[in-house]
Structure 1
């Protein structure tokens, strides 16, 4: 807010015209109306347009806080944070074509643990970090399959 001699200017008054142009551009690009973007709708085209307008506002006015941008869009600061940073990553769906196939590792082949994951005995030391990273994303069975493939590729190299 800015104080002048005769009135107090809110973020809506100071940045409103530029933000409205961002909203209109995003709405036009996604095929929705401006009232949809400012409304409560949560279907993908509307929320995508809203998120684009929020990102454009933050890029144009980096000094604005999340709460101030939220007031411009009639949203909570957490919604603005979500629009700027995206949703948290999730492990892939097991039916997804990019997911690694699951391989069972017998308990007798497990050696010790690291970051809560059991490391198999056959795992070379240089693949331990790959295993831990893959286990965090795909589980221990997916990590075992991934590291077995890496180990085969390493052994096949001359």
Structure 2
């Protein structure tokens, strides 16, 4: 093989190997930062879209409704524990910090943290859902016949002078 072609071939192989190494490092870093979303039923029973039960030590997000009468606060610290459910099983959330203003029993929340037991999560962040009645305009129109009117558009001239 010609020395010039050999040098060029080694350079191309080196570039491909470098890009592959960089891509694999990026993908590994991204996989470590993914927080999967689960409902309490998926956490406890392992059912759902992925049918993979989360493991202890895994970072994830759990969304559901706060169970009535389950909120327990430590009067000396900011520690709070409460249970979250969707339609079946419950998951206990442990959180240290100030809860959002919209947080209350019966309200929808999303908690992000680490599973410490099969049904207990140590949350690092708790987000309260704003409104349970929201629907995208297209879906509301299909389901309920509600037509979305853009308030920024001028109203059409309705007869008269």
Please report the TM-score for the alignment, with normalisation by the length of structure 1.
Answer: 0.23
Higher helix share: 1
Which structure is higher in RCO with an 8 Å CA cutoff and minimum separation 6?
2
Higher strand share: 2
Please report the TM-score for the alignment, with normalisation by the length of structure 2.
Answer: 0.23
